[in-house]
Amino acid sequence: MNLKELYLNSEIKNNEQKHPVISFEIFPPKNDEDGERFKTLLGHLAILKKYNPAFISLTYGAGGTTQTNSLDMIKQIQNQIGFEVMPHFTCVCASRAKIKDYLIQIEALGIKSILALRGDIPEGVDSGDFDFHYANELVEFIKAETSLSIGVAGYPECHIDCENILVDLNNLKRKVDAGADAIFTQMVFDNDKFFRFLDLANSNGITVPIIPGILPVTSYSQMDRMLAMAKVVVPSKLRADLERYKENPDDIKKVGLDFATAQCQQLIDAEVSGLHFYTLNKSSAVGKVLDDLSIVKVVA
């Protein structure tokens, strides 16, 4: 699965409208010693299968605690659900030898694409000891050592560690020049910010597909947790509506899903080549949005 070709060839007409590529992001369940939470996750993926996603992205870090189980998770998702999997891969705290060994293992599983990230530097760790310091170095290494198609992260409202969007775009350009085939953005709620990011990226010589990250909000606390982790602005009307109904879970969910549906429709009308949904390991919210949009061929 070459990511650039996947998105550039996505212009399938559906009632005279381009059909965006759909993909979902999941993460390895925490505190899952008996594997029951992963079994539950597989159940949600089985439900999402009817929306015919191009692939599932699986988060983890090369230096993190979830790497040990990631290969088994990939195998089960492939074998039991039949999805293409795009693993996330971070380079902090990992040697070249360790990364090369892992790349060999995932290619042996038939993996065709990977999302290359720097990753968070652990507190108290001297980053000067790392073999890789930036994501563009990891992209360059993967490009040289494998035949994998490479995705990278983009930040429409600037990376949390970067001083301004123009510096961040220069960093993004380095990743693309190193061999990235597509860019997947951090969750974005304001489409105007996404469209501005597209324009700035294009003017900076970035021409690979840029795919917006969509998070359907289903709870007030969920929104607060997400916003604490990144530079993301919630549109004032959405924030006001969520504030108004924060004591009523059903109304909060309706507000969040209605907003996500309208947001996606605007992106589709603008002919984006794909939509990448942050599922938070659940199927109902994303499924409701896709049902309301009626943009995908549901598989029986």
**Domains in the chain with CATH codes:** 3-293 (3.20.20.220)
Q: One-letter amino acid identity for 96?
A: R
**Per-residue confidence of the chain (300 residues) as pLDDT tens digits?**
799 999 988 754 444 556 799 999 999 998 888 889 999 999 999 999 999 999 999 997 444 455 557 888 999 999 999 999 999 988 877 788 888 998 999 999 999 999 999 877 666 655 556 788 789 999 999 999 999 999 999 999 888 777 788 889 999 999 999 999 999 999 999 999 999 999 999 999 999 999 999 999 998 887 777 777 777 888 888 989 988 998 899 999 999 999 999 999 999 999 999 999 999 999 999 999 999 996 665 555
Distance CA 263, CA 257 (A): 10
Per-state percent for the chain, helix, strand, coil, to nearest 5: 45, 15, 40
Q: Is 151 helix (H, G, I), strand (E, B) or coil?
A: strand
Do residues 263 and 202 touch, judged by C-beta distance below 8 A? Answer: no
Integer Cα distance of 215 and 201 in angstroms: 22
25 counts as catalytic: yes
Q: Check 25, 84, 137, 140 and give the catalytic one.
A: 25
From the number of C-beta atoms within 10 Å of its C-beta (0-12, 13-18, 19+), residue 255 rates as: buried
Q: List C-alpha distances in Å: 63 to 98, 255, 257.
A: 10, 38, 35
- Contact yes or no for 56/77 (Cβ under 8 A): yes
Exposure string of 16-44, with b = 16+ CB inside 10 Å and e = fewer, is eebbbbbbbbbbbbeeeeeeeebeebbeb
Task: Supply the pTM of this predicted model.
Answer: 0.92
